Structure 1
Amino acid sequence: MSLLLLSDTRADEIRACLGNWLTSIGDNPSVGYLASSADPTREYFQPIVELYDSLGAQITAFAEPIHGPDCELYEPLFACDIIHLCGGNSFEYLHHLGASGLDERLKAFVAAGGHLVGVSAGAILMTPDIASAVYCGDEPVVPFQITQGLGLVPFGVIPHVQDKAALAARLQDSDVNGDLYLMADTDAIELRGSTLHTTGTPTLLAAE
């Protein structure tokens, strides 16, 4: 099991990080893409297809988490070596995962040794609680108000942070609990088993 948390995928150093991570998993790994909501035009999907192609991996499954629990359309996703959790509204994404039963299936996939890449909202979903998503612009509008994340990593993340010092100062008076990493778009965090590796300079705000 290896989890890779990214703020963005466009920086050269992050593409290199992703390429190295893919190589560590094996030759030509298969990737399943899990959209955050309906994506009928594949607007957000196609650039990720091109990214993985350029790094020697292939997306072989695409799924939108808008169908009922145990929908057979999800099966190809869980046959892949890697599942890619994309960006979007973290609260809406989490709502769809719960309504479709994919939240528990993702946990089982990781427990069985599967690998996940989470980008922006996808990275936030891996954490114990997604309430910190409001600090990168997501809104917990009705009915998307659940905050309990997948709990696959023991810390929170805030992606797309441009001024880490300013946000750290702002968070001192917030109700965000637990260890929290502030991530710029050139940062990455990998959790392989119990070993954590970072790319760039994610800033850890440790719980008191």
Structure 2
Amino acid sequence: MTTLVLLSDLVFKSNDKLDQRIRSLFNSEQPSIGYIPSCSDPERKYFEHTRRYYNQVGIDNIQYYDLDLEYEERTFGSIFECDAIHLSGGNTFYFLSLLQKRNVFGLLHSYVKSGGILIGVSAGSILTTPTIEIAGYGEDADENNVDLKDMRALGLVDFEFAPHWDGSEDTLNSLSKYTRVNRTAVYACQDGGGVVINDESVELYGNVRRLDYRESGSNHE
């Protein structure tokens, strides 16, 4: 059982169908979500934005778990008791370096394989894929300020994810070139859209395009 939600951004009142689908993934009437920021959020600015989003879809129990400056090994483990784990947006290279530093890869794998829901936004979505190489590609690429060498990510899916697609064919052409060079498949996703993986099924919401070096065409919904 693998349940993943890959979002480009958290946009309020943008896609009721997607919001309802996310809520439907939870069996509990009062589900809990553990939030992991891409770097410490001392003012809880981004956490608060995320909390309000989940409150809007009817989920009130959101807990903050830091892997960076406020990391506490003793208490971090309780995140795996939550119904879902949310990986935030931010700098993908820095976020991956934190996952490596805190040795949570295996724990996240076990969590998902045992039925836990993993929700990513932007960088968090990229982290569910085999590699974060795409985070360093294109005009709006993340800076690799931590000199990260190992780009391997969680590998929970067999494709890559390109958030914040501007809707242009130029960007799709650039991403198509990326798929050919790297022999991979990429889902390009506009803000407000998302990809939901539920076992073997891949559901597209909003403006999402699949680009695959093995296919001449592309699929979208």
Taking structure 2 as the reference length, the TM-score comes to: 0.86
Q: Taking every aligned residue pair, what percent have the same amino acid on both sides?
A: 29
1-structure distance, mates of 2:159, 2:83: 24
Is contact 1:9-1:15 (8 Å) kept? no
Structure 1 residue 38: deviation in Å? 1.2
What residue is the counterpart of 1:165 in the other structure? 169
AA aligned opposite 1:72: R
The residue aligned with 2:217 is none
Instruction: Say yes or no: does 1:50 pair with 2:52.
Output: yes
* Residue of structure 1 equivalent to 2:87: 85
Structure 1 residues 23 and 171: CA distance shift in structure 2, 3 A? closer
Hey, what's the Cα distance between the residues in 2 that align with 1:203 and 1:21?
Answer: 20
For residue 206 of structure 1, the aligned residue among 204, 208, 212 is 212
Which structure 2 residues correspond to residues 26-175 of structure 1 after superposition, within 5 A?
A: 26=27, 27-66=29-68, 71-134=73-136, 135=138, 136-174=140-178, 175=181
Q: CA deviation at 1:155?
A: 0.5
How many residues matched?
208
Shift of 1:152: 0.8
* Runs of 4+ with deviation above 4 angstroms: 67-70
Once residues 194 and 203 of structure 1 are traced to their aligned partners in structure 2, the CA distance between those partners, rounded to angstroms, is 18
Structure 2 unaligned residues grouped into runs of 5+: 215-221
CA distance in 1, matches of 2:120, 2:97: 16
- TM-superposed deviation, 1:67: 6.9
C-alpha contact (below 8 Å) 2:51/2:62 kept by paired residues: no
Q: Which amino acid aligns with 1:94?
A: L
Residue ranges of structure 1 left out of the alignment (5+ in a row): none
Q: How many Å apart are 1:167 and its aligned residue?
A: 1.4
Choose 79-88 or 171-180, whichever is displaced more.
171-180
Match of 1:13 in 2: 14
Cα pair 2:175 2:211 within 8 Å, conserved:
no
Counterpart AA for 2:42? P
Relative to 1, partners in 2 of residues 1:55 and 1:11: Cα closer, same or farther, differing over 3 Å? closer
Which piece of structure 1 moves more, 50-59 or 73-82?
Answer: 50-59
How far apart are the structure 2 equivalents of 1:180 and 1:106? 22
1:201 offset after TM fit, Å? 2.8
Measured after TM superposition, the shift of residue 35 of structure 1 is: 0.9
Query: 2:30, 2:61 within 8 Å by CA — same for their partners in 1?
Result: no
| Residue equivalent to 1:3 | 4
What are the Cα deviations for residues 139-182 of structure 1, in whole angstroms up to 9, with x where unaligned? Answer: 22333343111001111011001034111222344434311111
Q: 1:180 aligns with which of 172, 178, 186?
A: 186
Deviates more, 1:131-140 or 1:120-129: 131-140
- Is the alpha carbon distance of 1:74 and 1:172 closer, same or farther for their aligned partners in structure 2, counting shifts above 3 Å? same
